[in-house]
Structure 1
């Protein structure tokens, strides 16, 4: 690490440089006054003169450079100052002659050799620093090592790259950002050095400026390689990186947006605070807009305008002044709440910026568009994970319709990421009744579209990971389906007999949510499960060696026994015997499961012994 970590003071860079210049003058005067070791003192004076000239050159450069990368300057000048102070102390000891004085001060040729070496190292450091300054003005990146970093050459590279990014011409900034990205790739120590040496702000600045897509890509790649733990993600966020990233996501070429969407996903995945801040900065809207490129969303939109619909409207009116479009939009939404007005203004600004890269987007290669959609879908997946607010925002931007269309028409990563986003949205709906009733009512067109695709995946797609995701989502929506909607029960019952135990287990979990005591229609759903011949595959699942399958299968069987205990199918399948065996074998170690099995056994014994009491279904 940097050798001057503890020497960073609250001085300006001019103050840092002025003090060693003053020291050099004092040393020159002390050399003139020296009465012993005169030759050695003269040699020290020559080294100090060389240093003084270089320090003055550094002063001229720093005072004329508005965006100075100060880190190496402060570190090297601090070290030079220490060495000059040591040289001054030594030369001053030679002011008076006399054997006694020389014995007392113990000045020797060895002391001078040490000082010579230190001053040589300082001269080497200053030469390296001035070469950095020269490269900034003339072009090129310095790849040599400074003596101060002889034990840590990576630090010299980092300083050189960061100086070029902060002060150099565009081509050098691009190359330097690529150099940092390479250093940071899969090397934790290098990542730590880059961040400690102030690497994040210049990379964010390069990403924001948009002077060159290649430079933006290099900066985004470097930030991606740095954002691999929560601490560094928070450093990026602390440098106001999140609003900047959202801005770049709105108005950049697709190749840049692809990497920026990846950066959003990575940061949100590693840090819950970043996930929340991205939500506050409205990142959901540009992500959904980019995801819906070339996707025809035919469902009428009676609520707030989506960013994508706003873009389409803007393109139709692009010959009119932008201010007119913005004024019209504001008039159309003048009756909305304060947040809605703010949102409309946000759309207008974004739409105005959108047109800058419109032609590039239209001519972009299909594979670039596909990769961008994959990245946006992954970002939405990560942002919605465990987040009710983000899930709500996705549904407010016609995101459900877009996700449904892509699940229907795409394959591979894009289909998977869209489906996993739906898993998170439906999980949020399961945990929040207000959100469930507002956004995922089964009679709303977006919810209908999603359910149709979930059912299609469970029936037609023979990929276990996708089947599990679709089944999980259907289970999360169990409380939204009316009793007559038995078509959602059929594929779940079918998958109880799936050869893949994980798929079968997920089907049991989902059916358990239809039959659980918390579901108002638990009796009707339980009857449907039995009517569609769900007991035989459930009994086979219970006999498997998989503990998770047994656990969730027992829960489902207990619910069926509690709600439809007089079922002939349960009696013929000897469900009572299986439950009694589960108790004896110790399979029901979980206290709540053990209690549930005891109640199920009681109800089955009552019905199978011919005693049919009029009762309500069990509800704890």
Structure 2
């Protein structure tokens, strides 16, 4: 809300050109030459003065609702033109012959000034038409509250500016229908190019869009505002502008309490803002955005028969769900089960109304909402330990695993990417690994089961790669007896897609690296699953594939160098060949390769004296 000081500043901006117009009128009365031309200037100045006074009255009555960006810009230009007119008219004052000769005034000077004043009249007329929502102002107002798309002279070289001014002014002062129309006009304008986005942001378009988004009485208004904000939020600077205008609390409030089609656009907005600014992720975390996202993602997810697809003796996701359903059997099933998943509930009457509306929505709308929420969770979790932890605390892992099992396409992919980010955070944080990915934790088991199913059963590198990365990030959580995790990864070393094979080598490297307490046991398991032959083939692949294949091969040689499989595959020869090139291509690996060669010589060819220093 504008303060009195800010209102006074606007009045001061408007009072200066009014003062100039009065001085021009006094100078015209004293003119001794070019009286007719000065009188013509006076007519234009009188029109300008009348419109300026109308603006003052409008600014006084409107108060904090006044959109002052075009006012400041146009009035500053008007003031310059009036100042030039004053200078010219003063040169026509009754003076001696000497002064009239020295101060030469021509007809061309008056033509130029009259053209400038005419442009100022056009600018002010346009400005009043933009503000004339009730037809009460003078000076040629539009008198109806619609958006004004005519061009003022000041914007003749840049029509986008005048359109943006008109749309934003409508957002500030228009009726709800006009505000929705203005937001719907700004959205495609912002989508066109970054210059338009910059103009909309610089001219103050974000605050009224956020205010419109908060209009819970109108889903159309919320969708229009969210779409425009989404199109604006494609870089860090504008995302920060939205956050600085206290947009995050508004967005989270609308996300938790609005119709599904509104929630889709708002979840997309959350995802885009989180994608482009790491700081805003923490803002969303403080406003507890994770909980409504998980709640919406879990809607209708657990409605199928929990025993419809048993899994041969293993504790399936269905049985976990059934257990939770039995715990909630004395409550309203859908509402309380969703609450148990997300620890988030909406107790407002409007929330209950929206729940009924969600139940009656089409399957397509529900699917789109889940897809958007999954993407928002993915972006919030990316690179954020705190958000990854919050997702696991809301039991979002179980929901993500269930959707990966049931769904296909973009929704399944978004959930896989969210899990990939959460497991990456767990890889770097022991507390999160212990809290969320204990071997006997139902949610963790459900996630791992689905990741392995994707790796083994789906012939899609698009989906297999995030699943393989996730298993690799969890390598330190698996005990030595969990050989069923390593087997599918070893199989993917032979995948025809080199990217999949390379990611499998990287993930297996997490099992066999020295940082893993069970590296020796895991290395032996990799060899037992016949991982050496396909690994040797990777050494003939591209540079990245060769690099990670070589790293894994070194780990196997260091930790299981006495294996006959290594000798049979002629790993020693391969490493000795690599030793001659690795120094130039990857000097940081030279010591590892030399150590691997030493271990293989130790077991298979005797100890080479000059490598004794690598004994450990």
Q: Does 1:298 align with 2:321?
A: yes
Inter-partner Cα distance in structure 2 for 1:62 and 1:182? 30
Partner-residue secondary structure (3-state), 1:182: helix
Inter-partner Cα distance in structure 1 for 2:162 and 2:444? 57
8 Å CA contact retained: 2:257, 2:346: no
**1:286-334 per-position Cα deviation (integer Å, ceiling 9, x unaligned):** 11111111112827679xx9xx999813999xxxxxxxxxxxx9xxxxx
* Structure 1 counterpart of 2:566, from 545, 570, 593: 570
Do the aligned partners of residues 586 and 313 (structure 1) sit closer, same or farther apart at CA in structure 2, a change above 3 Å counting? closer
Between the two proteins, the alignment pairs up a number of residues equal to 574
Do the aligned partners of residues 587 and 489 (structure 1) sit closer, same or farther apart at CA in structure 2, a change above 3 Å counting? farther
**1:215-268 per-position Cα deviation (integer Å, ceiling 9, x unaligned):** 221111111111122111112222111222112211121111111111111111
**What is residue 324 of structure 1 aligned with on the other side?**
none
CA RMSD, Structure 1 to Structure 2 (Å): 2.6
Once the two structures are superposed, the pairs formed by residues 301-450 of structure 1 within 5 Å of their partners are 312-313=335-336, 347=344, 354-450=351-447
Do the aligned partners of residues 205 and 444 (structure 1) sit closer, same or farther apart at CA in structure 2, a change above 3 Å counting? same
Q: Does 1:109 align with 2:107?
A: yes
Q: TM-score, normalised by structure 2?
A: 0.88
Partner-residue secondary structure (3-state), 1:406: helix
**What is residue 315 of structure 2 aligned with on the other side?**
none
Do the aligned partners of residues 80 and 610 (structure 1) sit closer, same or farther apart at CA in structure 2, a change above 3 Å counting? closer
8 Å CA contact retained: 1:54, 1:126: yes
Partner-residue secondary structure (3-state), 1:528: helix
Inter-partner Cα distance in structure 2 for 1:481 and 1:419? 20
Unaligned runs of 5+ in 1: 1-8, 317-328, 330-342, 612-617
**What is residue 168 of structure 2 aligned with on the other side?**
162
8 Å CA contact retained: 2:190, 2:196: yes
TM superposition shift of 1:211? 3.6
Partner-residue secondary structure (3-state), 1:142: coil
Q: Does 1:240 align with 2:224?
A: no
Inter-partner Cα distance in structure 1 for 2:27 and 2:615? 96
Partner-residue secondary structure (3-state), 1:209: coil
TM superposition shift of 1:207? 1.0
**What is residue 257 of structure 2 aligned with on the other side?**
251
Q: Does 1:581 align with 2:587?
A: no
Inter-partner Cα distance in structure 2 for 1:102 and 1:357? 80
Do the aligned partners of residues 596 and 430 (structure 1) sit closer, same or farther apart at CA in structure 2, a change above 3 Å counting? same
TM superposition shift of 1:389? 0.6
**What is residue 451 of structure 1 aligned with on the other side?**
448
8 Å CA contact retained: 1:136, 1:167: no
8 Å CA contact retained: 1:311, 1:354: no
Once the two structures are superposed, the pairs formed by residues 181-330 of structure 1 within 5 Å of their partners are 181-296=187-302, 298=321, 312-313=335-336
Do the aligned partners of residues 432 and 586 (structure 1) sit closer, same or farther apart at CA in structure 2, a change above 3 Å counting? closer
**What is residue 126 of structure 1 aligned with on the other side?**
124
**1:68-112 per-position Cα deviation (integer Å, ceiling 9, x unaligned):** 111111211222222222222332333314422212222232222
Which deviates the most, 586-595 or 558-567? 586-595
Partner-residue secondary structure (3-state), 1:545: coil
Do the aligned partners of residues 146 and 619 (structure 1) sit closer, same or farther apart at CA in structure 2, a change above 3 Å counting? farther
Q: Does 1:149 align with 2:155?
A: yes
TM superposition shift of 1:50? 1.4
Inter-partner Cα distance in structure 2 for 1:292 and 1:533? 40
**What is residue 71 of structure 1 aligned with on the other side?**
69
**1:126-185 per-position Cα deviation (integer Å, ceiling 9, x unaligned):** 111111122465221111000111111111111111111111111111111111112111
Do the aligned partners of residues 315 and 479 (structure 1) sit closer, same or farther apart at CA in structure 2, a change above 3 Å counting? closer
Partner-residue secondary structure (3-state), 2:541: coil
Unaligned runs of 5+ in 2: 1-5, 136-143, 303-319, 608-613
TM superposition shift of 1:24? 2.4
TM superposition shift of 1:357? 1.9
8 Å CA contact retained: 1:311, 1:351: no
Inter-partner Cα distance in structure 1 for 2:264 and 2:345? 23
TM superposition shift of 1:10? 9.3
TM superposition shift of 1:190? 1.3
**1:490-539 per-position Cα deviation (integer Å, ceiling 9, x unaligned):** 11111111111111111111111111111111122122112222222222
Which deviates the most, 207-216 or 485-494? 207-216
**What is residue 82 of structure 1 aligned with on the other side?**
80
Partner-residue secondary structure (3-state), 1:12: helix
Do the aligned partners of residues 435 and 451 (structure 1) sit closer, same or farther apart at CA in structure 2, a change above 3 Å counting? same
Partner-residue secondary structure (3-state), 2:214: helix
Q: TM-score, normalised by structure 1?
A: 0.87
